[in-house]
Amino acid sequence: MEPGITIGELGEFGLIAAITASMAAAAGEVGGNLILGPGDDAAVVAAPDGRVVATTDMLIEDRHFRLEWSSAADIGHKAAARNLADVAAMGAVPTALLVCFAGPGHLPVEWVSELAAGIAGECAEAGAAVAGGDTSSAGTVLIAITALGSLGDRRPVTRSGARPGDVVAVTGTLGSAAAGLDLLTAAVHPPGTADLLAGHRRPKPPYRAGPQAAELGATSLIDVSDGLIADLGHVAAASGVRIELDTKPLAAEPIARVGALRRAADALRRPDWLRWVLTGGDDHALVATFPPEVRLPPSWTTIGTVADGRGIAVDGQTWNDQGGWEHFRSS
């Protein structure tokens, strides 16, 4: 293909061929769950235990990413990761992804191929295959993804099973994506903060920790996409319990990239870097509640306990702040 050709010049069927080729090259050998792959009216995916976990989520240009801040490959990884993390957050193993892509005709084909390779590459990290998709033209770039997964005979771990006496534990990082986004927004790039920018551009959800939590007996499980307090707020509300958090382990490695967050806060003149850890979304750490007798592997850090009552407390104080963020609202 000539360099610099646009998707408008290539046309829809040519674009689909380019995307498929790019994904095949990036995916490697992860087709185990694909009974019938892309190219027909629909794909057929294995669902060995007679159930399929399914979730959908979209990324929109200038709302979830900016073309000047993230590479096409970054955006592909991020779009896939958000969905794969939701599958893991049920205690399931991702099996397949379906991708809708729309963008303006002047986009280079190369850009879309890199996006597709990013999606397929993230899929491969989680053990899933790209099963199908759709393309269209649109004024801005948007990516809508559906991820499927297999529970492997486990029960799904929902948000509603936390019980008083359980411990709360997290695996993955918190605050990096939000701090990275604030640095990009302010166009401030102090040394030693590359991990935060990477956290925004290409989050690293701990996929295997989802099924692990289920096997350890987690009573509830969620991935941190809106922010730790907002997402645990969903768990507290669905379970009818109060969740009491301790900031000491949250303000330390491995959960918080402490040095980088301090440097970012200094550069941005923010008084409180811990706020990113408590309320920043998009890192896709997994947070679970476990019965107190469960022995957690060292990859999980205990950050609080479940009590009778409602809402979230931080270091003994009820949290009344707006913990996460919503689309549409302008406030």
Q: Rule CB under 8 A: which of 209-268 touch its own copies? A: 221-223, 238
Nearest Cα to Cα of residue 79 among 130, 9, 42: 130
Nearest approach, Cβ of residue 106 and its own copies (Å): 10
Site for its own copies in 146-205 (CB under 8 A): 146-149, 151, 156, 158-160
User: Using CB under 8 A, which of 17, 25, 32, 134 touches its own copies?
Assistant: 134
Question: Is the torsion defined by CA of 287, 291, 292, 293 positive or negative?
Answer: negative
User: If binding is defined by CB under 8 A, does position 20 make contact with its own copies?
Assistant: no
Fill in the amino acid letter for 125. E
Among 35, 186, 194, 252, binds its own copies (CB under 8 A): 35
Q: Nearer Cβ to its own copies, position 99 or 236?
A: 99
288 is a contact residue toward its own copies (CB under 8 A): no
Minimum distance from residue 137 beta carbon to its own copies (Å): 5
Q: Verify binding: residue 58, its own copies, rule CB under 8 A.
A: yes
Q: Which stretch binds its own copies (CB under 8 A): 4-12, 73-81, 193-201, 246-254?
A: 4-12
Interaction between residue 114 and its own copies (CB under 8 A): no
Q: Which of 23, 73, 96, 162 binds its own copies (CB under 8 A)?
A: 96
Backbone angles phi, psi at 195, to 5 degrees: -60, -30
Q: Interface with its own copies includes 328 (CB under 8 A)?
A: yes
Burial of 60 (0-12, 13-18, 19+ CB in 10 A): middle
For the bound state, the minimum distance from the C-beta of residue 95 to its own copies, rounded and expressed in Å, comes to 9
**Alpha-carbon distance 301 to 171, whole Å?**
6
* Residue 76 binds its own copies, judged by CB under 8 A: no
- Determine the Cα–Cα distance for residues 269 and 123; give it in Å rounded to an integer: 38
Q: Is 282 in the site for its own copies (CB under 8 A)?
A: no
Least distance from its own copies to the Cβ atom of residue 214, Å:
13
Q: Is 98 in the site for its own copies (CB under 8 A)?
A: yes
Question: d(Cα 45, Cα 87) in Å, to the nearest integer?
Answer: 15
- Return the axis-axis angle of helices 194-201 and 258-268, rounded to nearest 10°: 100
CB of 235 to its own copies, least distance (A): 10
Nearest distance in Å: CB 255, its own copies: 20
Residue 12 touches its own copies, criterion: CB under 8 A: yes
Whole-Å CA distances, 236 to 86, 106, 330: 18, 47, 26
Of 41 and 272, CB closest to its own copies: 41
Tokens 């957050």 identify what position? Answer: 89
Cβ proximity to its own copies: between 118 and 324 the closer is: 324
* Calpha distance 21→113 (Å, rounded): 8
List CB contacts of 29: < 8 A, sequence separation 6 or more. none
CB nearer its own copies, residue 87 or residue 313: 87
Q: What is the DSSP letter of 238?
A: H
Q: How far apart are CA 281 and CA 277, in angstroms?
A: 9
**CB environment 116-151: b (16+ within 10 A), e (fewer):** bbbbbbbbbbbbbbbbbbebeeeeebbbbbbbbbbb
